[in-house]
Structure formats: structure tokens, C-alpha cells
Chains A and B, each alone.
Chain A
């Protein structure tokens, strides 16, 4: 099955700086890559996603890039704010497995004011 690796496991940045989280995947058949934000004690919430026919997608301060050849994708958060502090999960989905998500282990992002 698919294996998703995520780095770093923890990331601390100063408010206003950028944060980058990287993920790799193993199965070239993966074609959908969502990112979830999970605050302490709350449900994972989708913040951005990208499909394999697109190299980059941006939504205000959040962007995701995908390199299919290298099998890696990254989350970029610019102008970070303290409310961005949370655990971020990357995931991958293979079309043939009916949409089940394979998650990375998560990155604890802390934004210091």
C-alpha cells in the first residue's frame, strides 16, 4: 500500500515568517493530496488539496506544490499568525482504492508572537 512520510515532526516559527512542511509518497498511482489542520481536541479540517494534474495551488496565505516525478508535495504558509499553530497532516489517496486516505504522522507547528 501507500506510505506517506512527513517532515519535520515539529516546527517553530516567529509570527510573520513562512513555514514549509514536506511530504513524500511511495505509490505513483496516488492522485489526490489533501492537507488537514487539527487543533488540540478538534477534528481534522481540510485546508487545501491538490490533484495530480496540477503542480501548484494557492489559497490566500496557503499554497501546496506537487512534484510527481520526485513523489513529494509541500505545504507553504506565508505570513504566519499565532492562530496557525496546530498539527498539520498531509495525506495521499490512490484512485483505485476508492478514496481511502493515507496520512503522514503530522507536524506540530507553533507560531510565536
Chain B
């Protein structure tokens, strides 16, 4: 499969726990984005990498959120001390120019 992949696909956690998601972009894509999508809404931008550099972060990304792309390939998104309001679908997308290809997402449920 040469598309964008994300793991895990589903994550259920208790409030206060930490979670980490992984995104593997299309191999030649140098730009990688994280979005969050809640029910009935369009995806909302969280953060963006060009190669290993994190170039922009949304105000939605509180101090509890951190993202990395250490070697310019896969990326991780960590949420510390999860809250019920963090429950959402977390989508990753990658691109070489403008066209963004999305992964299947990680659905997070915080109990």
C-alpha cells in the first residue's frame, strides 16, 4: 500500500492518560499535516511539517499536544493528560505540492 497510513486506527483511553499516534506519509512527500475532525465538522488544522521542521502550529494545539517528525519521514502526535474534549478523529495528510492525501485517521475516545 503506497498511501498514507496511520496507527492505531482506534484508541480508547481514560481521562488523564497519555496517547501517541503515528503517521507514515507517502514516501516522496516532504510535507506532512495533522488535522482533527469531530462529528459533523470539517477537518481542522493542527500542525505542519516540511521535512523534519515543524513550521506551523494551530492555536488548537495546546501545551498538552506535541508532534514530531524526527527524520523527515514518519510523524508522531502525542497528547498528554487526555481530556474528554480530545475525543475526535485525528487525520494525517501528506503532499509534495498542493494536493493533500489523507490517511484513514486514528479515532480517539477518551472516557
A residues whose Cβ falls under 8 Å from a Cβ of B: 4, 6, 32, 34, 36, 42-46, 49, 51, 89, 91, 93, 97-106
Contacts and interface: CB of A to CB of B under 8 A. Distances in A.
Contacts of A106: 40-42
Query: Which secondary structure characterizes the binding site on chain B?
Result: strand
A19 B98 CA distance: 26
B91 interface: yes
Contacts of B103: 43
Interface residues of B, number: 24
A91 B104 CA distance: 19
Nearest to A106: B42
Given A101-B45, A106-B41, A34 B99 contact: yes
Contacts of B48: 98-100
Interface string B1-41: 00010000000000000000000000000010101000011
B45 A42 contact: no
Interface string B93-109: 00100111111110000
Nearest to B99: A46
B91 A43 contact: yes
